[in-house]
Amino acid sequence: MQVLTAIVGRLVKAFLTLLAIAILNFFLLHAAPGDPAVVLAGEAGAADEQMIEQLRERFGLDQPLYVQLGKYVWGILQFDLGYSFRQGAPVSELIADRLPATLLLTMTAFGISLVCGIAVGVAAAARVGKPSDTILTTLALLFYATPLYWLALMAVLVFSVWLGWLPGFGYETVGANYTGLERMLDILKHLILPALTLGLFFMSVYMRMTRASMLEVSQLDFVKTAKAKGLSGPAIRRRHILRNAILPVVTLAGLQAGQLVGGAVLTETVFAWPGIGRLMFESLAARDYNTILGVFIVSAAMVIFFNIVTDLVYRIVDPRIGATA
Amino acid sequence: MRHLKATTFLIAAALAAPALAQQEGGRLDIVVQPEPPGLMLGLVQNGPTQLVSGDIYEGLLRYNTDLEPQPGLAESWEISEDGLTYTFKLHDGVTWHDGEPFTSADVVFSADVFLRETHARLRSSLAYVDSIEAPDDRTVVFNLKEPFGPFINAFEVGTMPIVPKHIYEGTDYATNEMNATPIGTGPFKFDEWVKGSHIHLVKNEDYYIDGLPHLDEIFYRVIPDAAARAVAFETGEVDVLPGGSVENWDVPRLTEMDGVCSTGKGWEFFAPHAWMWLNNREGPTADQKFRQAIMYALDREFVKDVVWNGFGTVATGPISSKTNFYSDDVTIYDHNPEKAKALLEEMGYDGEPVRVLPLPYGETWQRWAEAVRQNLSEVGINVEIDSTDVAGWNEKTSQWDYDMAFTYLYQYGDPALGVSRNYVASQISKGSPWNNVEGYENPELDEKWEAAATMVKPEDREAAYAEIQKEIVDDVPVAWLLELEFPTIYRCEVKNLVTTAIGVNDGPRDAWIEE
């Protein structure tokens, strides 16, 4: 019963947070200079008052701000993210169109960075002070410090233009009409460069954090006890040190997971990946309010969802947290 | 070149045609940047939409690179002696992509009903139209209230796209579901739009001109990053980079590649003309001497050679040399810092800083603003660069919140369509960045612009516009910069790609691929 109340409490809080974020975003966007009607009219290379007024009316911008907000919030309460007049489609449809591509990219990158980052971090911690540790740490620092944009362009230049091994952009071969396994392989080929580029940065973060945390925990008394009991090195590292050292990594992973929806704008742009980050960026440029707000809400929901998941994972990794909380 | 083989080879072999005959089939991949917001050309007229939808929809006329009208949906046309009646004879046997027959009723509906409501630029030309009639299925007559010389230039596909009456009549145009799957009469039909990736068009097998189009399909590829677009062309993923698809400094590198061709043609109708609005209302820019000083201070040749990699022509005044009725009999402003300094001293410029608003269209424009700042500071003008994004630029210019602001505009073949709107007082109106934003007022010239538009004889118009250009260039209401040139880069195997004054925007109706 207590658990149930806790869960319901969390959900209510999550919903209120989401609503607050939506309202805040609404005001932030409207405070930015620019008007979607003028942008759209402007792109036509000509505009008169009649046209701008028509567009403002169609966008609902001719109404007072509080009416616009009221309508928007009322829509959200009914799980309706509104309509994009610029693109002539419901926002939920636009987001649903782009979400799979983004999730495929960000989750692959997330998986690669988490698994490889922890593995390399553990390996480096076990070899602390040795040349292999120095090489790994330096590489991690390098990837951590390199701007993603540059790394992406270099990856395209080397693997796509010079070597011709991998496609440099896109989600799949356009017009090839592959199906089934062939299509999956085709998408996989297109996925490698963007996923690696996006993954490298976080991989180096996880690696450094795992290594540092492992070293810190390995100084603690219970590790000495384990050694005194005669346990083998790998067993101590895996069952005693890593289990305790992983908590900060889980925190960080929770934060990264929250960005799965909106965190790949640059990668999506360079690799022409038809994802949600680009939808957000292009909508922002055009002040397509409903679409931006919709993307913001979906990504805020992801952040909140993963915060809850992180809390749950904490309890599994470290049962003490559940007992005291 | 894997895209270009397809069925081309088989069909060509079967025809065993002579060496120069057009080959049938094949696929063309063209970059479209940015992704269009929609494809219904009657509702959206921005560049990317026109690039794609110019293949799907058609206008009554097309224009060759000398801006002479050519048959489109109309196979012939006649203008009455008094310049008041335009009669068009439509092509026989034209059908919409859904199989419905195309008739004069569609033209009347498009021009008189649909576009009057949705198309701001056409609306200003339609103001001269008294009535539009369809005496029979294949004839359309436009009756004008008074002569309007440039009217013959108003029938290109982007200006007056003919839309299907049977789909739109009586509906809410903006939310009509068919907007997602546009139906036109053009050489290519809409097939699929994978948002964020590509738009697929296929050959219209029932096109009314025998033997056209030659290509089987076109893919418009959405690639948001300029460097990635250049790479896509290098690696053979795309075959055509329409003007402006890549940054200028990439153009020489790409055009020097083997088997790559480029052309500056296909922009004559648009004649993109770049200038800086100088706020005529307040601050130093309100002073004519200050504005003249700016003209002398700017090294426009340098910008053309360095920032634009040699593309373009230094503008002499408001009308592009590619547009009808251009005259070069005007004061020429060479790069002359001494003269600029003298003018500034004469006016008593006190060093008040001026804000320059660059056009947020990429690196080239940012660099151009830097060059302007350098030129102006050399003669003692303090310049602050005030950068913003597209929406911010629209807001600032349309609310007149600037001192100097970069822009460029299309001229649509005739000064009365694309030039006078930037200089006459009746076009001063807050809220739009496409009119007399600088706030220039000259009642005498206003009358001359108005008169020149409604003269019947071209030679009279020629003389009238020559006079206007001479006068206005001395006034410097804006700082004219360059007649821009956006080369179209393509693989040399693609033939007949650019055949009209709107180039790739007319759709590769005549294009074919040589195997």
Same domain membership, residue B239 and residue B300 = no
Is B394's CB within 8 Å of A285's CB?
no
Q: Which of A14-28, A53-67, B96-110 has the lowest mean pLDDT?
A: A53-67
Assess B139–A contact: CB distance below 8 Å, yes or no.
Answer: no
- What lies within 8 Å, CB to CB, of B125 at 6+ separation is B148, B150, B151, B154, B159, B417
Distance linking the first and last C-alpha atoms of chain A: 15
Same domain membership, residue B262 and residue B331 = no
Contacts of A272 in chain B (CB under 8 A): 196-197, 221-225, 228, 232
Closest CA to B251 of B36, B484, B514: B484
Q: Check the CA dihedral A70-A72-A78-A82 and report its sign.
A: positive
For the ranges A49-63, A281-295, B145-159, the maximum mean pLDDT occurs at B145-159
Closest CA to A97 of A263, A308, A294: A294
In tens, the pLDDT along B249-278 reads 899 999 999 999 999 999 999 999 999 999
A 32-71 near B (Cβ less than 8 A): 32-36, 38-52, 54, 58
Residue A216 to residue A219: CA distance in whole angstroms: 6
Instruction: Label residue B19 by pLDDT band (50, 70, 90).
Output: very low
What integer pLDDT is reported at residue B420 of this predicted model? Answer: 93
Average per-residue pLDDT for chain B: 91
Q: Which of A107-121, B15-29, B384-398 has the lowest mean pLDDT?
A: B15-29
Q: Which residue of A has its CA nearest to B360?
A: A285
User: What's B106's domain CATH number?
Assistant: 3.90.76.10
- Amino acid identity of B180? A
Q: Is B329 left (phi over 0), alpha (psi -120 to 50) or beta?
A: beta
3-state SS class at B328:
coil
Looking at the predicted structure, is the pLDDT value of residue A324 above 50?
no
Q: What is the mean pLDDT of residues B239-243?
A: 95
Per the domain annotation, does B160 fall within a domain? yes
Looking at the predicted structure, is the pLDDT value of residue B310 above 60?
yes
| Residue-number span of the structural domain to which B36 is assigned | 8-56+186-267+487-513
Same domain membership, residue B106 and residue B14 = no
Q: What is the interface size between A and B, counted as CB pairs within 8 Å?
A: 172
Count of domains in chain B?
3
Distance from CA of B226 to the nearest CA of A (A): 9
Q: Check the CA dihedral B313-B314-B320-B325 and report its sign.
A: negative
Percent helix, strand and coil across chain B, each to the nearest 5: 35, 20, 45
B 79-118 near A (Cβ less than 8 A): 117
- Amino acid identity of A230? G
Residue B373 to residue B382: CA distance in whole angstroms: 8
Assess B227–A contact: CB distance below 8 Å, yes or no.
Answer: yes
Q: Report ipTM (2 d.p.).
A: 0.84
Same domain membership, residue B380 and residue B426 = yes
What integer pLDDT is reported at residue B288 of this predicted model? Answer: 96
In tens, the pLDDT along B192-221 reads 999 889 999 999 999 999 999 999 999 999
Higher pLDDT, B360 or B292: B292
Share of chain B above pLDDT 70, in %: 96
What integer pLDDT is reported at residue B202 of this predicted model? Answer: 97
Tokens at B92, concatenated: 């026989």
Tokens at B449, concatenated: 């612009």
Average per-residue pLDDT for chain A: 86
Same domain membership, residue B338 and residue B214 = no
Is A38's CB within 8 Å of B197's CB?
no
- Which of B134, B168, B202 is the endpoint of a domain? B168
Q: What is the mean pLDDT of residues B327-335?
A: 96
Looking at the predicted structure, is the pLDDT value of residue A45 above 70?
no
Higher pLDDT, A218 or B370: B370
Determine whether B82 is exposed, middle or buried from the number of CB atoms within 10 Å of its CB (0-12, 13-18, 19+): exposed
Same domain membership, residue B456 and residue B336 = yes
Determine whether A289 is exposed, middle or buried from the number of CB atoms within 10 Å of its CB (0-12, 13-18, 19+): buried
Looking at the predicted structure, is the pLDDT value of residue B158 above 90?
yes
Is A47's CB within 8 Å of B219's CB?
no
- What lies within 8 Å, CB to CB, of A214 at 6+ separation is A121, A122, A125, A237, A241, A242, A245
Per the domain annotation, does B1 fall within a domain? no
Instruction: Quote the DSSP letter at residue B110.
Output: I
Contacts of B396 in chain A (CB under 8 A): 33
Same domain membership, residue B102 and residue B23 = no
State the SS3 of chain A: CHHHHHHHHHHHHHHHHHHHHHHHHHHHHHHCCCCHHHHHHHHCCCCCHHHHHHHHHHHCCCCCHHHHHHHHHHHHHCCCCCEECCCCEEHHHHHHHHHHHHHHHHHHHHHHHHHHHHHHHHHHHHCCCCHHHHHHHHHHHHHHHCCHHHHHHHHHHHHHHHCCCCCCCCCCCCCCCCCHHHHHHHHHHHHHHHHHHHHHHHHHHHHHHHHHHHHHHHCCHHHHHHHHCCCCHHHHHHHHHHHHHCHHHHHHHHHHHHCCCCCCHHHHHHCCCCCHHHHHHHHHHCCCHHHHHHHHHHHHHHHHHHHHHHHHHHHHHCHHHHHHC
Q: Which residue of A has its CA nearest to B222?
A: A272
Is A49's CB within 8 Å of B429's CB?
yes
Sketch out chain A's domains with CATH numbers.
2-91 (no CATH), 95-320 (1.10.3720.10)
Q: b vs e for B320-337, b when ≥16 Cβ sit within 10 Å of the residue's Cβ?
A: bebbbbbbeebeebebbb
Total Cβ atoms within 10 A of residue A111: 12
Same domain membership, residue B191 and residue B160 = no
Same domain membership, residue B38 and residue B65 = no
Assess B396–A contact: CB distance below 8 Å, yes or no.
Answer: yes
User: Which pTM does this prediction carry?
Assistant: 0.88
3-state SS class at B395:
helix
Placement of tokens 């335009």 in the chain: B86
Residue count of chain A: 325
Q: Report which secondary-structure segment, H or E, holds B79.
A: strand B74-79
Distance linking the first and last C-alpha atoms of chain B: 10
Closest CA to B308 of B481, B430, B191: B481
Contacts of B120 in chain A (CB under 8 A): 41, 44, 46-48, 50-51
Same domain membership, residue B476 and residue B385 = yes
Is B120's CB within 8 Å of A41's CB?
yes
Total Cβ atoms within 10 A of residue B284: 24
Per the domain annotation, does B471 fall within a domain? yes
Q: Which residue of A has its CA nearest to B418?
A: A46
Same domain membership, residue B196 and residue B80 = no
Total Cβ atoms within 10 A of residue A241: 24
